[in-house]
Every structure is written in C-alpha cells, then in structure tokens.
Amino acid sequence: MSAAEGPLVVGVDTSTQSTKALVVDVATGKVVASGQAPHTVSSGAGRESDPRQWWDALREALHQCGDAAREAAAVSVGGQQHGLVTLDAQGAPVRPALLWNDVRSAPQARRLLEELGGPKAWAERTGTVPGASITVTKWAWLAEHEPESVRATASVRLPHDYLTELLTGVGTTDRGDASGTGWWASGTEAYDEEVLGHLGLDPALLPRVARPGEVVGTVRDTAGLPFAKGTLVAPGTGDNAAAALGLGLRPGTAVLSLGTSGTVYAVSERRPTDPTGTVAGFADARSDWLPLACTLNCTLAVDRVAALLGIDREAVEPGTSVTLLPYLDGERTPNLPHASGLLHGLRHDTTPGQLLQAAYDGAVHSLLGALDLVLDEDADRSAPLLLIGGGARGSAWQQTVRRLSGHPVQVPEAKELVALGAAAQAAGVLTGEDPAAVARRWDTARGPVLEAGERDEAALARIAGVISDAAPLLERETDRR
C-alpha cells in the first residue's frame, strides 16, 4: 500500500492537447502519483481529433502512475467540453471528433438561432445562445456536410462521456457537460425534444444524464487498465465544471482560467439566461450553475505573437498606445468566429515588448468584459480573482489582469485543477461527501494574493474604442466565410 492516510482515487483531465491522470489521497489531497500523454489535433480546415487517441493517452497516463493506480478505489473523468463524438453500432468512431474550437459550424449556429426563436428563446430554453463552439451546431454541420456520417452514427457522446463509457460499458454523462451541448434544457434539466426533433437527432443516441454523486458503474475487466476489480466510476464532467470542483468554489468568487482558451466563470445559485450570448448558462457538476464566458484566443495567441516578434513571452514593456486584438483563430467573445487579428496605433517608436503587452491587454480585455455578467448582483466585487490555467503563473499575465481589472489576484498553488476536481468527484462517490467540500478540505485554492492596483481605465477605453471602430471590418471578415 502507498504511504497514504486514506483511500486513493484517480482524477483524469482529458484536454485538447493531452490526457493527465492524478492519484490522490482522499484524506489529505496529496497527489501520490501522476501521468500524462499527448494527443494530436488536426491543423486543416477544422479542429479534429481521433477519440481513440484519448483512450490510448489515458492508458499511458495511468500506467505512468504505477502501483498507486491499482490501489485506487474510484475514478472520474473531466474533459474538454462541446466536442462531438460520433460512434457506430460497434462503439467505434465514425469519424474524428469535432472539437470545441472548430468554428466551421458558424453558419449553422446562425441558422439555428433564426429557426428556433432567436437568442432570447435559446437562452431561456437551454441557458446558452449557440455559437460555433456549441455541440448542437456541430451536429447540424455534420448533417449538412457529411450525411453519410450521420446515417452511420449509433450513439453521440462528448469527450468525457466517451472515456467514461469505455471504462464502464455504460453510456452516461452529467448535467455540467450536458449543459454545454445546446440540446439539454436548463429549465427542465432534461434533453430538449423540440431541439432534437429539429435536428433530426434521436434522443436514444444520447447518453443518460447521471445524478450528481451517482456511481455510474465500475471499471470493467475488459478495459485493460491498471485498476482493481470493482473500482467505482463517478459521472465525470466538463473541464470548467471540474476545475470549479477542484477549487471548492463557492458562489460569488470569480475564476479567470488562462489556457489555450480563456474563460471567466463563477458558481451561482441562480439559473443564468443571457440573451446577448456573452455568458453561457452552464450547469455545474453539483446542483448549482456555472455562468461562463469563453474566448478562443488566450495563451496560445499571445505566445504566437511573442514568437513572431522573436522575444520571450515575459518580455513585455509598459507605455504602449498600441491596440492588438489577438483574434488569431476567430473569436467567441465577442462572437466573431472568422475574424482575424487586428493591430492599431503602430508607431516608429513602438517596441516589440510594447506590441507583446498589447497582445496581453487585448486577450485580458475580452475576459474582463464578461466578469460582471458572471457574478451575481450581491457578489463581493472586492474579493480576489482566482487565476488558474497555464498562464496563471506567468508574471505578465498576473500583472495585466491586476492592472486592467483593479482587483486583487490570487494564484492557487495547486496544479492540474481539472484533474483534482475529477479526483474530488471520485472521492465524493466513495465517501458520500460533497466534492466541493472535499476540495476545500484539501485546501486547493491556497496561494499568494497580489494586492489590487489602480485600474487602467485609459487602456480599457482605448481597446473598447478600437473594437467599436473596427466592428464593420470584423463583421465583414465573418460574413465573407
């Protein structure tokens, strides 16, 4: 037995780029083993991955965990949201999965909005105004462009559902991930028959939505993984809901997640319905809600600007009057799926470091624009923002968020919060505890607090002005596709 004070559980994070596994001591939250293996994403017209890579990566990550994985009593999977996984009657992928950042379905998103009542009706029905990232638009794209794939499809899954089903042999999902599909009604917490009927999607193809805290099965002997017989499997959830669990998030605390994409979210006890589409009204993995805004362009876009300039990502310089909108992959917030990057205010004396700072400013501005929308009216606006994700430990990201938000910033020391949240969910099905309370017991949000500074109103106004002035050009970029 490992030198653990309590039983062990496994939390999995299957993200866009890799799958990570943590073996965690339920009593203390200590990570006793970990593993990671990469995936590949197509670089062609869309963003796709073969789901079988995720399974191979999970097996490799677990084998890296060694004996600790064999001692685990429960496992849960957190996964990238919105991806469309289509399986045939034998459970094999019909085609590569369409990932969340594949924006080819933007025309289908616009058409679905028009055909089913407009943004307000969609927000009230599903909690979310569908854009190109949302799963419902990807199914509509597939039906239009690859009808033979639709005819061959015997089941439809999300990425975390796919791995959970391979673990257990049972098709299940959870409310957190289901709420990001566009065909799950947040008001009734059930699949929306009208939306599915409009799509021609048989609800029998969809997984059952498990209850929070439910044991959805045990790891089957044929899975070929280093688990003991009878290892419990929790419902799993989407990556943002898993990270919220991993932080033990309470209502009123905002999170900025700085990864390939950027997200800002908070737990709420009120069901969100934003007809502007800025905030997605997702459910969390418990019984509350997770209003969330997402940008496509965050750390990857800023790193690309640094690479183009030939400087380190931390080599920012102050004093810039340049505005850079880093919409290198289109954008989701604002909803401009086919826009490209835009640079304004370049001068002879502009330095590479100032250009790089402008890229940071443009990315953070998009996230902060949604901050007030995700927080309830009675939230404490002076509370620190929790900064997580790959960019959270970078000084340039930290200081840019402080300067543009005027908020104090807290950077949790815990890493791999999606996998930790999945581990907390696994611990919950094992012990009967609230998984968020498990994470708080593990003290996962502990970390240094950077005090608030004066908010840079001039920079915010400059960026907002450029976005407003450039709107016709950016819209033409979208319409051209």
Cis peptide before 334 (omega within 30 of 0): yes
Query: Cα–Cα distance between 164 and 438 in angstroms, integer?
Result: 22
Instruction: Establish how many alpha carbons lie within 13 A of residue 100's alpha carbon, considering only the half-sphere containing its beta carbon.
Output: 25
Instruction: Give 22: exposed, middle or buried? Use CB within 10 Å, 0-12, 13-18, 19+.
Output: buried
The structure's pTM equals 0.90
Which residues 6+ apart lie within 8 Å of 336 measured at CB?
A: 327, 330, 474, 475, 477, 478
The dihedral of CA 155, 158, 163, 165: what is its sign? Answer: negative
Residue 60 has pLDDT above 50, yes or no: yes
Mean pLDDT of 372-394: 86
Angle between helices 435-442 and 417-431 (to 10 degrees): 120
Which residues 6+ apart lie within 8 Å of 10 measured at CB?
A: 21, 22, 23, 24, 62, 65, 69, 72, 74, 75, 76, 227, 422, 423, 426
Q: What phi-psi label fits residue 154: left (phi over 0), alpha (psi between -120 and 50 degrees) or beta?
A: alpha
Residue 380 has pLDDT above 70, yes or no: yes
Q: Residue 1: its pLDDT value, please?
A: 45
The residue assigned the tokens 């990201």 is 397
Q: Residue 81: its pLDDT value, please?
A: 95
CB-CB contact of 320 with 214 (8 Å): no
DSSP string, 78-120: EE-SS-BEEE-TTS-BSSPEEPTT--TTHHHHHHHHHHTTHHH
Q: What is the DSSP letter of 205?
A: G
**For 119-148, what is each residue's pLDDT tens digit?**
999 999 999 999 999 999 999 999 999 999
Give, in degrees to the nearest 5, the angle at Cα 411 between 371 and 285: 60
Closest listed residue to residue 79, CA positions, set 375, 432, 421, 322: 421
Catalytic position from the list 192, 239, 274, 284:
239
Query: Cα–Cα distance between 202 and 453 in angstroms, integer?
Result: 53
CB-CB contact of 20 with 423 (8 Å): no
Q: Residue 253: its pLDDT value, please?
A: 92
Q: Compute the mean pLDDT over every residue in the chain, rounded to the nearest whole number.
A: 93
Residue 2 has pLDDT above 60, yes or no: no
What's the token pair of residue 463? 């960026």
For residue 376, indicate whether it is catalytic: no
What's the token pair of residue 52? 């079988």
Which residues 6+ apart lie within 8 Å of 291 measured at CB?
A: 265, 266, 268, 272, 274, 279, 280, 281, 282, 373, 374
**pLDDT band (50, 70, 90) for residue 472:** confident
Higher pLDDT, 357 or 331: 357
Chain centroid, CA 260 distance in Å? 10
The helix (H) or strand (E) run that includes residue 9 is strand 8-14
Percent of the chain beyond pLDDT 70? 98
**pLDDT band (50, 70, 90) for residue 476:** low
Mean pLDDT of 387-410: 94
Number of H helices, E strands in the chain: 17, 24
Mean pLDDT of 381-409: 93
What SS3 class is residue 381?
A: coil
* Phi then psi dihedrals of residue 457, to 5 deg: -65, -35
Query: Cα–Cα distance between 95 and 87 in angstroms, integer?
Result: 8
Residue 471 has pLDDT above 90, yes or no: no
